[in-house]
Each structure stands twice: as structure tokens, then as C-alpha cells.
Amino acid sequence: MTYLPVLHTDEQTRRFFAKVLRQQRVHVAVIDGTVIGFAAVHEGWLNHLYLDPAWHGRGIGSALLRAACDGLDRVQLWVFQANDGARRFYERHGFTLGELTDGAGNEERQPDARYERFSSAAAPTVLL
């Protein structure tokens, strides 16, 4: 994501993800002993989903997303508006756009989008 500013040192990033591992439900994709992707979810929010680009298009990201969302009635996530590939991925998996922002609420100050998906049992009723 070349459009994002570098805000943290490698050490700060390691400390941050050590905290993610302790506090969130994390699913990891491993091939031949190498971590190629992960998903982290907490309190109905998919906070992280990453897959090494060399492994895109093989169903691994979809499997991570399914594992992360399993058992949740509603899942929300934020994605940068400029990340077209991720937005298409989430939309293919049933997520709908909830809101767009100018990025003032994130530390990168990049426009983002909130998506959400309901399980069929938890989908809101629409009355016309």
C-alpha cells in the first residue's frame, strides 16, 4: 500500500502485533512452515486481514475471512478507499458499504470505508 505514510518503526509494529496476538482472535495461514497470512477479529470487528500477494487468488484469503467471521452475527471492518482490490474482495464476500469518511479519524489520514456483513439470522429486517 504505497499510498500510506510510514508512521511507525519496525519495533513499534512488532510490539503492536504482539498485543494483537494477545488480545484478539487470530487465524494464521501457514505453508511449509512459513506464515503467509493472518486475520484478526475482536468484538465483531475484522481488524486485520493480510495475505502475502504471492498467494492471492488461491482461496486462502477467503478461508481466513471465513475462519475469522465464523460464529459472528455481524462483522464490520475498515478499509482504505484507495484499496480497490480489498474492497472488491469484501464485496464478493457479502460485505456492504456502511459509510465513507475523509480519513480524519484514522492515524494515516487517508479516506476510508466501513463495511459490514450480517449473518442471515442476524440480517436487519427492511420494511417498505
Determine the pLDDT at residue 6.
86
Long-range CB contacts (within 8 A, 24+) of 49-54: 49/77, 49/86
Determine the pLDDT at residue 114.
98
Q: What is the pTM of this model?
A: 0.86
What are the tens digits of pLDDT across the range 96-121? Answer: 999 999 999 999 999 999 999 998 65
Determine the pLDDT at residue 122.
55
Cβ-Cβ contacts under 8 Å for 8 (sequence gap 6 or more): 16
Confidence band, pLDDT 50/70/90 cuts, at residue 32: very high
Q: Which domains does the chain have, with CATH numbers?
A: 10-118 (3.40.630.30)
